Amino acid sequence: MINIKLKDGSQREYPSGISLLQVVEEISPKLAKNAVAALFNGQITDLNAVIKQDGSLEVLDFEDDRARNVYRHSSSHVMAQAVQRLWPGSKLAIGPAIDKGFYYDFDSKHSFTPDDYKLIEDEMNKIIKADYPIVRREMDREEAIKFFKEKNEDYKVELIEDLPEDAAISFYQQGEFVDLCAGPHIPSTGRLKAIKIMSLAGAYWRGSEKNPMLQRIYATSFPKKAMLDDYLFKLEEAKKRDHRRLGRELGLFVLLDEGPGFPFFLPKGMILRNELENFWREEHRKAGYQEIRTPIILNRELWERSGHWDHYKDNMYYTNIDEDEYNIKPMNCPGGMLVYKQNLHSYRELPLRVGEMGLVHRHEMSGVLHGLMRVRAFTQDDAHIFMLPEQIISEIKGVIDLVDRFYSLFGFPYHVELSTRPEDSMGSEEIWDMATETLIKALDEKGIKYKVNEGDGAFYGPKIDFHLQDSLDRTWQCGTIQLDFQMPEKFDLSYIGEDGEKHRPVMIHRVIYGSIERFIGILTEHFAGAFPAWLAPVQVRVLPITQRHHDYAQSVTESLQAAGIRAEADYRSEKTGYKIREGQMQKIPYLLVLGDREVEENMVAVRHRKQGDMGSKGIEEFKTMILEEIASKSL
């Protein structure tokens, strides 16, 4: 008999040789129905796996990222099986799970087109309906090479030959289909439910243009049709909300060939940007930050001292001044170090919180540029906090509270990830361990759940990243908190302690928006351009019905503007319905229609962007209403 410890701490006894799926079915048939894979003794494992030893068991369903990858990787095998049934002789390359779906690369004499999508989906559904068990087997190296050579699977043979001599070669079989694979997989093809072929692309084998060009089929899968329908709806909605299109249509920003990766902000876009910056400044003033500005061009020696040269030189722009080499800054932190060094600091001054809206430039390849989401010049809302060692946890918690204030205001749920020491890090393992443990303690004290990203920290310290979720359920990494013991050492930063001696401060690097440009792109898509009134470039548009209402429209507009409301009037001789539709297309929060009755009664007929006709209101009543909405920053 073997003992299995469950996630809730309870233990159960089973006969040796039982499968994990049988264990889960015994615990709960419903749990087994939704199960995708298992975490057994810390390893992601097939539910079909037979166990002969004691262990801990956690059952993973589709909501778990790891299980979702298993589900979709199994889907890729089903797609490959369907393709080989439809077009015999098609050779298999690789078929991994990716974010939101999966793909498989094929070397086929048949040229795939969108007309093939339904054929492949229908064949996949036949395989799903057949509910083939997905069985894992192992071979030795020579046997595996011989097996795949006989099947004419050249790419699989190459993959096997690149494996270590003593590696166990595993493969999975479902029906007549066999694929080289480390696994794990779902128990049977019938566990798959809703599948959809998404697109086609070309891809060089192993990413090298020296190798054959393969045909890549992208697809996705979900355990429920409703989940697939929701995903497809949000994909279509995302196309409608594309910030690049909305940026042009709403007059916010443009990306031009004359400056690829360098956005141009238009007057309305600057209003939006300035409101975001004004809010940032006000909240940081309240939180005890001082604002600075540092130059965008600094001497190369500074970047060598900071470590950025060794870790970042390929992403930096260069220039020569007076025969010396200078760099356009890709980050703001070295400038912040120099500002700190301009004064002798006492322990009584710490923590010192210094913020900067700093313009940075990074060299990005043209192929990865994407609207405001990936640019070459952007403004980071950087801040650097210099503190005593005993202040670290309270300062981290303070930043977490500030991040929460910002994201909650915009209606963004978020999750947190902790990134640890990367391979190209600076500093000792001991310091890294201490820094990482400190971040963990701060998160634990705040009661925040987090995911660990091993080896994904900054080169100078571990970090906490905030991934916000928009209205289409997409996630964006924006805010970050990086704990740094390295930069203060490299720049010889110090403070005078209570003992009158010099001591080394600890510092935090942090951003909340991340990049103002990218945050505006995210907000534009999140709100579909219909920004809350406090952010909207035009908050009110006044629509006189005929020319005889123009004088009254002008007085209403001037009255609103005098109250600090961003208002404009549309005096064109177009039909009122046309003007209303255009105002709605421009996503303006309030339209005020003025006719004879409104002039006579000194009123305005109010139309809200979402609520529609709100009836007539007195001018002062309307001003009070919208000013309260703006002041409260209501969504």
The catalytic residue positions are 333, 362, 380, 382, 384, 463, 509
- DSSP bridge partners of 261: none
Q: What is the DSSP-derived secondary structure letter of residue 488? A: H
CA 84 to chain centre: 36
500: CB partners within 8 A, 6+ apart:
none
Q: What are the residue ranges of helices labelled H in 382-466?
A: 392-409, 429-446
Neighbours of 603 (CB within 10 A): 20
352: CB partners within 8 A, 6+ apart:
290, 340, 345, 385, 386, 387
CA distance 293 to 356: 6
Helix (H, G, I), strand (E, B) or coil at 164: coil
Nearest to 181, CA basis, from 203, 216, 153? 153
Give one DSSP letter per residue of 453-480, joined into a string: ETT-SBTTB-EEEEEEE-TTS-EEEEEE
Output 595-604 pairs: Cβ under 8 A, ≥24 positions apart: 595/545, 595/546, 595/549, 596/545, 596/549, 598/549, 598/552, 599/549, 599/552, 604/542, 604/556
CA 600 to chain centre: 53
Cα atoms found within 13 Å of the Cα of residue 626, Cβ hemisphere only: 32
Helix (H, G, I), strand (E, B) or coil at 302: helix
What the block records as the tokens of 304 is: 């060598």
Question: CA of 297: how far to CAs of 328, 539, 573, in Å?
Answer: 4, 38, 52
CA distance 590 to 587: 9
CA distance 464 to 444: 12
Give one DSSP letter per residue of 29-94, joined into a string: HHHHHHEEEEEETTEEE-TT-EE-S-EEEEEEETTSHHHHHHHHHHHHHHHHHHHHHHSTTPEE--
Query: What order of strands is seen across the sheet that includes strand 317-321?
Result: 297-299, 324-328, 317-321
| Pairing assessment for the beta strands 567-569 and 540-544 based on DSSP bridges | parallel
- Asked if 269 and 537 touch (Cβ cutoff 8 Å), the reply is yes
Q: What are the residue ranges of helices labelled H in 221-327?
A: 225-240, 243-249, 267-286, 300-306, 308-312
Nearest to 285, CA basis, from 383, 170, 203, 424? 383
Position 79: which residue type? Answer: M
